């Protein structure tokens, strides 16, 4: 999973072509771009991992924006039945 920050001093983001090349460099054969822009946020165990672009209302950098969709992944412990 890759999240790219943009529109900030530390990161200008990637074009779709640059992202495709980056994914190839990571060894990906198939990839899916599911969104982009300032609302892109990665949280792991409830902790913000990336630095979202400035909130359009408050201009606060690194603040999550309200969004209408999410991709949630969970890991379930696999147990063998004997």
What residue numbers bound the domain in which 48 lies?
A: 1-82
CA angle 42, 44, 47 (to 5 degrees): 85
Structurally, the chain folds into a number of domains equal to: 1
pTM over 0.95: no
Sign of CA dihedral 78, 31, 3, 53: negative
3-state secondary structure of 17: helix
Q: Kindly state the average pLDDT of the residues 8-36.
A: 88
Residues 4-18 pLDDT 10s: 887 777 778 889 999
Say whether pLDDT at 30 is over 90. yes
């Amino acid at each position: 999973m890759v999240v790219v920050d943009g529109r900030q001093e530390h990161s200008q983001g990637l074009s779709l072509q640059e992202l495709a090349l980056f994914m190839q460099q990571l060894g990906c054969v198939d990839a899916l771009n599911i969104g982009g822009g300032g609302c892109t946020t990665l949280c792991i165990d409830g902790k913000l991992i990336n630095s979202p672009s400035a909130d359009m209302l408050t201009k606060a950098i690194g603040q999550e924006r309200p969004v209408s969709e999410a991709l949630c992944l969970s890991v379930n412990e696999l147990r063998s039945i004997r």
